[in-house]
Amino acid sequence: MCASSLIYRGRIAPTPTGHLHLGHARTFWIAQQRAMAEGGSLILRMEDLDRSRCKPSFITDCYEDLKWFGFQWQEGPDIGGPHEPYDQSASMHLYHTAMETLKAKGHLYPCTCSRKDIQQAQRAPHAADDEWLYPGTCRATNSSTWKDFSHQSHCWRFRVPDGEIISFEDRRLGLKHYRAGQDFGDFVIWRSDGVPSYQLAVTVDDHRMQISEVVRGEDLLVSTARQLLIYRALGWKAPAFYHCPLVCDDSGQRLAKRHASLSLRMLRSQGSDAESLQASWS
Ligand code: GLU
């Protein structure tokens, strides 16, 4: 084993479409604790691909909230590092290359179905994570006739190996299994608005930033199975995974950006101090 594979590299990857809440802070805190326990590095990546929703003020506030809470990262958009860029919006060329490779290897096909088409398809129950299962309407389309992937009328989907069980060892939850075509269907790699999907961007970034362990919420377990298919298709070694429990509100609903009262901003303005919040999790 080469020495570099022994170095722990973790990451926190906020999406600045709103303010960070306690759920983000808890997941990121676990990521930071795990990186520190291993004597490794923590990388900050700004997942700002959705240009219409990622407002500059959210980005500024995100840095401020992270610092207030006590996060410290060793590489990131604000301090640089050997794996620049750390902003997804500056990494489009890298996603293009990966997308072209997947296309050339025959893993992708263009899809003209609208969200409504998918919802109306009789054969489209929900995937294991509540995404719509794609019914396969455009699967037979010949991708070689579609040249321009930024064309507005179609997205590009990854053809999953129907029936195959995708397994991985989660470092908190143990062995997890998901059946392709049943627990999740053909998923979007490149959106019809010319933006790479979360699944593609996160995989390309975790690979190129040499992340050794991905720490994120349990809501992304099924996405890990999707991303493992991308790693395999691109011939890349996948990192280890640790999925954290989700923070819920009093009614049992998972925290979301709409829970403004539990945003770090609001808690801070109401006099909460970061140390007590951290202490409540240890
Ligand atoms: N930006 C993503 C989110 O906020 C990160 C997901 C991940 O950690 O892979 O949900």
Domain that holds residue 240: 9-279
| Ranges of the chain whose pLDDT falls below 50 | 1-4
Distance CA 177, CA 165 (A): 6
13 lines ligand 1 (CB under 6 A): yes
Ligand 1 close to Cβ of residue 244 (< 6 A): no
Residue 82 lies in a domain: yes
Cβ count within 10 A of residue 162: 13
What is residue 48's predicted lDDT score, i.e. its pLDDT?
Answer: 97
Q: Is 20 in the pocket of ligand 1 (CB under 6 A)?
A: no
45 touches ligand 1 (CB under 6 Å): no
pLDDT at residue number 221:
97
pLDDT of residue 251: 81
- Interval between CA 14 and ligand 1 midpoint (Å): 6
Q: What is the pLDDT of residue 3?
A: 45
DSSP letter string over 207-250? HHTT-SEEEEEGGGHHHHHHHHHHHHHHT----EEEEEPPPB-T
Q: Which domain CATH number covers 253? A: 3.40.50.620
Cα 144 to ligand 1 centroid, rounded to whole Å:
32
DSSP string of 37-82?
Answer: HTT-EEEE-B----TTT--HHHHHHHHHHHHHHT---SBBTTTB-T
The answer to whether position 3 is within a domain reads no
Residue 4 forms part of a structural domain = no
Q: Looking at residue 147, what is its pLDDT?
A: 60
> Is the CB–ligand 1 distance for residue 216 below 6 Å?
yes
In a domain, 2, yes or no: no
**Residue at 6: amino acid letter:** L
What is the structure's pLDDT at 141?
79
Distance 198 CA to ligand 1 centre (A): 8
Cα(147) to ligand 1 centroid in Å equals: 30
Residue 46's closest CA among 32, 27, 26, 60?
Answer: 60
> Which of 17, 66, 209, 220, when mutated, tests ligand 1's pocket best, judged by the most ligand atoms within 8 Å of its CB?
220
Q: Is residue 226 part of a domain?
A: yes
122 CA to middle of ligand 1, Å?
Answer: 31
Nearest CA to ligand 1 atom 8: 216
- 175-206 per-position pLDDT tens digit: 999 999 999 999 999 999 999 999 999 999 99
Determine, yes or no, domain membership for 235.
Answer: yes
Task: Give pLDDT, residue 122.
Answer: 65
200 lines ligand 1 (CB under 6 A): no
- Compute φ and ψ for 191, nearest 5 degrees: -80, 160
Count of residues making up the chain: 282
Catalytically active residues are: 257
Kindly report the protein residue whose alpha carbon is nearest to atom 7 of ligand 1: 216
In a domain, 1, yes or no: no
Number of domain units in the chain: 1
Return the best residue to mutate from 32, 47, 129, 203 for the ligand 1 pocket (most ligand atoms within 8 A of CB).
47
Q: Is 205 in the pocket of ligand 1 (CB under 6 A)?
A: no
Sheet holding 165-170, edge to edge: 174-179, 165-170, 240-244, 213-217
